[in-house]
Structure 1
C-alpha cells in the first residue's frame, strides 16, 4: 500500500509543479491549498504554494533544473505525509488531480510502445511520454558511410 501512496504522491507532485508554470495556476493553487490545509488554515498553505511557484519560475528562468527538482521533491514529500496521515486523502488527491489535469493518467500505470524502422537514424531518438523544451544541435551533415539511401 505504501508503494501505491508513494506513486500517487510522485504523480501529484509532478502535476503540481507542472501546474505552477501553467496559465491555470491561480485557480489550481486555491484548490491545492484547500487539500493541504485539510480543514485548517488555507492561507498558510496558499502562501507556501505561491512561494514555491515563484522559486520554480526563477529556477526555470535561470535554467536551474536541480532547483526545480528540489521543489518537486519537497511537494512529493509533503503529499506523501498527508497521504500516510489520512487514508481518505488518497481518493481526494486522485479526484483533485483528475480535475486539475484531466489528461493525466493517475493510476500509475502507463504503457508506451514505440518502434523505429526504415533505416539508419542519424539523430537522437527519444522514447517516452510528455517531452518539452527539447533542443537539438548538430552540423546537419550525414556521415558518408551512412547515406540517406540509394536513389
Structure 2
C-alpha cells in the first residue's frame, strides 16, 4: 500500500468521516462511506443507518473533541478491517479524503534516530510502525 500502513489510512478515513458528519453535505457523504464499509452491496443501507446513529450521537454530544475521538475510534476499527479485507479500497478512500479536504497519509520511509543520556539518565522514545531498539550501557 505505497509504504503506508492500514492504520494510517483507517485513521485518515475516520477523520474524513467525522468531518463529514458535521456538515450539511452528510447525506451524500454517508452513502459513499456506507458503500465503502459494507461487505456486500445489499448491506450498505444497514451501514448507512449505523453511520446516521453515530452522527446523531456525535451531534447530541455537542461535537466536542472528546465525542469526536470516541466516535472516531469505532470507525477507525471498521475502516482497518475493511482495508485488511480489501486493500484495493485505498483508492476509494483516497478519493473520499480529497473530497473531504482531508490530507491523505504520506508514505513513511525508513529513518534512524539516535538518543543518548549521560549521568545515569534514561531515554524514552515512542513512535509508530516497526521499531528496533538497542540499548548500550557504558
Q: If the length of structure 1 is used for normalisation, what is the TM-score?
A: 0.62
Q: CA RMSD in A?
A: 2.0
Answer whether contact 1:8 1:108 (CA < 8 A) is retained.
no
What are structure 1's unaligned runs of at least 5 residues?
110-151
How far residue 96 of structure 1 moved from its aligned partner, in angstroms, is: 2.4
How far residue 37 of structure 1 moved from its aligned partner, in angstroms, is: 1.3
1:106 alignment partner, one of 104, 107, 118: 104
Matched, 1:18 2:16: no
CA distance in 2, matches of 1:5, 1:78: 11
Residues 56 and 108 from structure 1, CA distance in 2 versus in 1: closer, same or farther, beyond 3 angstroms? farther
Q: Specify the alignment match of 1:91 in structure 2.
A: 91
Residues 67 and 105 from structure 1, CA distance in 2 versus in 1: closer, same or farther, beyond 3 angstroms? closer
- 1:55 aligned counterpart, secondary structure: helix
CA distance in 1, matches of 2:42, 2:95: 20
More off after superposition, 32-41 vs 47-56? 32-41
Answer whether contact 1:60 1:68 (CA < 8 A) is retained.
no
Q: If the length of structure 2 is used for normalisation, what is the TM-score?
A: 0.67
Q: After the TM superposition, which segments of 4 or more aligned residues of structure 1 sit over 4 Å from their partners?
A: none
1:44 alignment partner, one of 40, 43, 46: 46
What are structure 2's unaligned runs of at least 5 residues?
108-138
Q: Specify the alignment match of 1:76 in structure 2.
A: 76
CA distance in 2, matches of 1:57, 1:89: 28
More off after superposition, 65-74 vs 27-36? 65-74
How far residue 35 of structure 1 moved from its aligned partner, in angstroms, is: 0.9
Answer whether contact 2:30 2:48 (CA < 8 A) is retained.
yes
More off after superposition, 86-95 vs 15-24? 86-95
Which entry has the higher C-alpha Rg, 1 or 2? 1
How far residue 107 of structure 1 moved from its aligned partner, in angstroms, is: 3.3
